[in-house]
Amino acid sequence: MSFDDHTLLIAAGIFGILVFASAVGAILRFAVARGAPHPVIDNLNARVYAWWFMAAVIGIALLGGKTGVVALFAFVSFVALREYLTVAPTRRGDHSTLVLAFFVALPFQYLLVWIEWYGLYSIFIPVYAFLLLPTLAAFSADMKDYLQRSATIQWGLMICVFCVSHVPALLTLDIPGYEGRNAFLVVYLILIVQSSDVLQYIWGKLLGRRKIAPQVSPSKTVEGFVGGVASAVALGTALWWITPFSPAQAGAISLAITVMGFFGGLVMSAIKRDRGLKDWGTLIEGHGGMLDRIDSVCFSAPVFFHIVRYGWTP
């Protein structure tokens, strides 16, 4: 099967899934809710509507090749970092540090990904930005909560920029026998991790009884986690043919990234509870802010990237 055949098949599959999900949502709305407001069904439909939009945006970015994908995720990182730092405990003395984070560290990280300089983009933020940002903050006259403020900005860069940049970085991997198909890895990562999120939500609503971390995320249950992860792993295994993995490898990798995605959602939920938030923002209808949608990708992307890089590249 050629690259174009794979592309058309994947596009048709995603379109079919979205059509099916929309049909199910419409049936539930009229057969179960009978047109009246229903929190669970309305939330599910809002998620499906938002996914139509997000699938279209990702598809357009993929048509732009590496440049389009890098530009898209640079924008995603900018919005996510803005949402994060809007509610973070920063002060007037952090102005220069924030400017450096947004307008130097963020674009430079994605420039390094675009020019495929792995040796530097893999350490730029966790080493150089981590050292430079608190140094710059130390020159300000405001030392109140210095450690907390510095750590908050550093953590934001790690989660919103460094981790997310590993999604477009998948396009830079040189995998023998897989030339020209790296875009499928981007689709595979996002599809499996986001499917796991949705399936955990559905299984949790259907069978959820035992809460995993009720003080952090009351909606996360053991049944939802097991059902959602198992379903997403089955999907990831079934899609092995668009990857350089065998079916068994695809299943194991899907398990790793869905579990990491769950950890990401849990950690970001803990931060929201600490800040007294329900959602990070209102950018995406039915999904809250950008961070609400990519929290699982933040943790799964670097793990997936390094599994592929060290397992499938020379």
**Predicted confidence (pLDDT) at residue 263 exceeds the cutoff of 70:** yes
* pLDDT at 132 (0 to 100): 92
pLDDT surpassing 90 at residue 272: no
Q: Is the pLDDT of residue 29 over 60?
A: yes
Q: Answer with the residue of higher pLDDT: 95 or 32.
A: 95
Inter-residue contact 167 to 95 (CB < 8 Å): no
The per-residue pLDDT of the chain, averaged, comes to 86
Predicted local confidence at residue 143, as pLDDT: 82
**Residue 286's pLDDT band (cuts 50, 70, 90):** low
CA 296 to chain centroid, in Å, comes to 5
Which tokens hold the place of 251? 């299943």
Say what the pLDDT of residue 232 is.
Answer: 94
Q: Could you read off the pLDDT of 189-218 as tens digits, one per residue?
A: 998 998 898 888 888 888 878 899 888 888
**pLDDT tens for each residue of 109-150:** 999 999 999 999 999 999 999 999 999 888 887 788 888 888
Q: How far apart are CA 196 and CA 190, in angstroms?
A: 10
Q: Convert the pLDDT of each residue in 46-101 to its tens digit.
A: 777 777 777 788 788 877 888 999 999 999 999 999 999 888 877 777 888 999 99
Give the range among 189-193, 200-204, 225-229, 250-254 with minimum mean pLDDT: 200-204
pLDDT > 90? residue 162:
yes
Sequence-distant (≥ 6) Cβ neighbours of residue 224 within 8 angstroms: 200, 201, 202, 203, 204, 205, 207, 208
Segments in 116-246 forming alpha helices (H): 118-121, 130-138, 146-157, 166-169, 183-207, 222-238
Q: What is the CA radius of gyration of the chain?
A: 20
Mean pLDDT of 154-182: 94
Counting residues of the chain whose pLDDT is more than 70, the rounded percentage is: 92
| pLDDT of res. 20 | 74
> Sorting pLDDT into bands at 50, 70 and 90, what band is 246?
very high
Which residue would you say has higher pLDDT here, 141 or 172? 172
Higher pLDDT, 311 or 32: 311
Percent of the residues in the chain that have a pLDDT greater than 90, as a whole number = 48
The pLDDT tens digits of the residues spanning 2-18 come to 445 555 666 676 777 77
The pLDDT, as a whole number, for residue 92 is 75
